[in-house]
Structure 1
Amino acid sequence: MARRFRGEFHQKVDSKGRMSIPASFRRVLEAGDPEWADGLNPQLVVLYGDHLRDSLHCYTIEAFMEIEDDILSLPRGSDERRYLSRTILGQSLTTDMDKDGRLVLPKRQRDKIGLDEQVFFIAAGDHFQIWKPETYDDVEAGVVPEALKGQADDFDPLILLDQARD
């Protein structure tokens, strides 16, 4: 079973803050929750830290535990551990998907990114992001064109993976 998130999806948000999690994302959440079994609702972690100004990041339980382990491996009392504990561990919310495959975000988290009637989900491999669609378009619209600036018309971005391995 795939344990990575892939794709992008637009969904509606109802007045209670419920939004349907894309079906392919649900399967990843189930696979990434060690306590999930048929008939139970998988849990996930929503990260809303101050460093995330425009979006929320959602992790499987297993993926977030890896992050947590990395933070806890830092020396006690170090600035890095203190900062990461506050912004990652302190500003995260463990929640579950309801029986209908929906996520209910508290008003505080919805207000943080300005969610109202529509939500945009986009995969990021080990997590997915939640955006207000218009904000995503405004913030991210220039990222790919900027990255492609100066590249040949037939540039294949997969070549960047080869450079990462070197």
Structure 2
Amino acid sequence: MSDVILYTGNAFSVADGKGRFVLPLEMRRQVKLSSGNETRLFLSVHGGNPCATAFGESHRRHLFTEVEELAREARAAGRDYDADLELERRLGTIEEVNFDEGGRFAMHPDIKDEYGITDAVFFYGVGRYIQIWKPETLVDSKDRPELIRNKVRRWLDQRAAGEGK
């Protein structure tokens, strides 16, 4: 299992009849690489953006290791640091799901509800993890790159006109 898996690229997914989304092929390959070739996807909330996150095992381990490092640094500097609370924030919201060979997975209902995700998502690879956005929310997020917001806006317009899924 590689230490650092970097996710890039983006794609849309529309829920199938069973409410499952499809993880894009290249992201699926990276998740499997990150998770020892297993089809395990970890979903969580984003700490600062109104979107979900997805990643493989290597990033989950990174989150734990990062807290341990911050705790060591705080002890060395004589600062207070609540590692337990930070672990709750980083690991306590993670939900594990499996995806099939076609990349289909059922998003955890708590995460869907948190972000108002219903029938479509936008996957956005941003390094160590993938952001999963409700498309309308991403368009309204002024901090996202204009190129990405325009892409999602065009997709939403095409979908409303009956041209997209």
TM-score by length of 1: 0.71
Give the aligned partner of residue 106 of structure 1. Answer: 108
1:7-156 equivalence runs, <5 A:
7-14=9-16, 16-34=18-36, 36=37, 41-48=38-45, 51-52=47-48, 54-73=50-69, 74=71, 79-140=81-142, 142-144=143-145
Instruction: Tell me the amino acid that sits aligned with residue 140 of structure 2.
Output: D
Unaligned runs of 5+ in 1: 146-166
Give the aligned partner of residue 148 of structure 1. Answer: none
Instruction: Tell me the amino acid that sits aligned with residue 105 of structure 1.
Output: M
Q: Secondary structure at the match of 2:141?
A: helix
The answer to whether the Cα contact below 8 Å between 2:95 and 2:108 also exists between their aligned partners in 1 is no
**What RMSD, in angstroms, separates the aligned Cα atoms of the two structures?**
2.5
For structure 1, which segment, 2-11 or 16-25, has the greater mean C-alpha deviation from structure 2 after superposition? 2-11
Give the aligned partner of residue 157 of structure 2. Answer: none
Identity of aligned residues (%): 21
Tell me the matched-pair count: 137
Cα distance change, pair 63–91 in 1 and its aligned pair in 2 (3 A): same
What are the superposed Cα offsets for residues 112-137 of structure 1, whole Å, 9 maximum, x if unpaired? 11111111110101110101000001
Unaligned runs of 5+ in 2: 147-165
Instruction: Tell me the amino acid that sits aligned with residue 100 of structure 1.
Output: G
Instruction: Tell me the amino acid that sits aligned with residue 124 of structure 2.
Output: I
More helix by share: 2
1:6 CA displacement: 1.3
